[in-house]
Amino acid sequence: MSDGGPPTVVSIAERAGVSIASVSRVLNGVGARPETVRRVERAAAELGYVPNAVAQSLKGGRTKQLTFAMQDIGNPVYVAMVRQIQAVARAAGYRLLLHSTDAVIEDELAVVRSLGDRTSDGLILCPIRITPEHVEVLTAAAGPVVVIGSLPQGVPVDAVQADSVLGARLAVTHLVESGRRRIAFVNGPLDTVPGHNRRQGYLKALAEGGVVPDPSLERATSFGLGAGREALHDLLDAGTAPDAVFCANDQLALGAAQAAHERGLRIPEEMAVVGMDDSDLARACWPPLSSVDLGSEERGRTAARMLLERLSDTPDDRQDAAPEPGGPRPGAARRVTTAPRLVVRASSAAAPTADATAARGGVR
């Protein structure tokens, strides 16, 4: 009997009157007599056969699935990455598995470990912090991993990172050069890699521009949307009188811009605003937000490609003399850095000295 569940090679073989091996061959385009091909294809079509990918995976050792793990898909930066990764993956015949870790360290580690369950062939991980455990787990990963973010030298894992020090420097230098002097900095948590680096860039640019840094102009909170608004209100309430605010990402910048609007401050005349990431938000808001493109899309694309390369480097079997299971044995770990690019828009266009004589700031 054949029925009782979805069609399989067996049902097709019965119906076509051939062996399951012939079915498999025909289905995989291996040589067969035309007559056999015809009968198998016919039977498969009639039965509405779809190969069981799980069985194929068990046999082949590859699932044709990739995993992308980040903290929160709500952040536009990750959305941009997901898009690129998904595009690259699908073009190579891979599906994409998504993991939101909510920045819970334990979840991040679990995702790396879960490479061992062979559910996906490789992992793109976007951690916001790198702990010693991260290094440990990444080093022992059961399959190829590409990290989007900074990684210490020793770790034998590919990484694609943004140069956010330079990025922040570009933004702040731009503000200094357009005559701003009291440049506030609304940052995310300082104990994160991006938080730390962006601050370095900020300070460096101030130094280069001959502006004495004023600690009271700095705020470190979270990377979320509401934080920017609160931070700028706080800065204004504290009487720090900034004439510009540089924010560690676009979400913070939009929040800051809102606060400025609420205080009746004109952007950019009385308050210039510059964000980071150059997400869709920057283009969509008013006035359009100057921002530093840190190459989120490029990093996503590159990470996906690097991962696929690793996967094709590992032919099929893993029983040869590999010192450790999985991992990027062939060739040392690569470190790629994408170049930041400042995008100046209306939110920082005008010079502050013009003192409000400028028109409505129309752009069209």
Of 343, 337, 347, 346, the C-alpha closest to 197 is: 337
* The entry of a copy of itself, DNA, none that residue 254 binds, CB within 5 to 8 Å by partner kind: a copy of itself
Contact 89, 304 (CB under 8 A): yes
116 touches a copy of itself (CB under 8 A): yes
Total residues found in the chain within this entry: 364
Nearer to a copy of itself, 95 or 204 (CB): 95
Coil, strand or helix at 146: strand
* The entry of a copy of itself, DNA, none that residue 360 binds, CB within 5 to 8 Å by partner kind: a copy of itself
Nearer to DNA, 311 or 344 (CB): 311
CA angle, 140 then 146 then 149, to 5°: 110
216 touches DNA (CB under 7 A): no
2 touches a copy of itself (CB under 8 A): no
Q: Which long-range contacts (CB under 8 A, 24 or more apart) does 212-215 make?
A: 214/182, 214/240
* The entry of DNA, a copy of itself, none that residue 96 binds, CB within 5 to 8 Å by partner kind: a copy of itself
Q: How far, in Å, CA of 235 to CA of 245, rounded?
A: 10
Contacts (Cβ under 8 Å, ≥6 apart) of 34: none
71 touches a copy of itself (CB under 8 A): no
Of 301, 223, 31, 26, the C-alpha closest to 231 is: 223
358 touches a copy of itself (CB under 8 A): no
19 touches DNA (CB under 7 A): yes
31 touches DNA (CB under 7 A): yes
Least Å distance, CB 1 to DNA, is: 11
Site string for DNA, 42-61 (x = CB under 7 A): -------x-xx--xx-xxxx
Least Å distance, CB 46 to DNA, is: 15
Chain positions 58 to 117 lying near DNA, rule: CB under 7 A, are 58-61
Of 74, 139, 129, the C-alpha closest to 106 is: 129
From the list 41, 92, 114, 200, which residue makes contact with a copy of itself (rule: CB under 8 A)? 114
Contact 188, 213 (CB under 8 A): no
Q: How far, in Å, CA of 271 to CA of 178, rounded?
A: 12
Of 187, 357, 178, 176, the C-alpha closest to 266 is: 357
Least Å distance, CB 167 to a copy of itself, is: 21
98 touches a copy of itself (CB under 8 A): yes
Binding site for a copy of itself (CB under 8 A): 4-6, 48, 50-55, 57-58, 63, 65, 72-74, 79-80, 82-83, 86-87, 90, 95-100, 113-114, 116-119, 140, 142, 225, 233, 251, 254-255, 257-258, 261-264, 280-281, 283-288, 318-319, 325-326, 360, 362-364
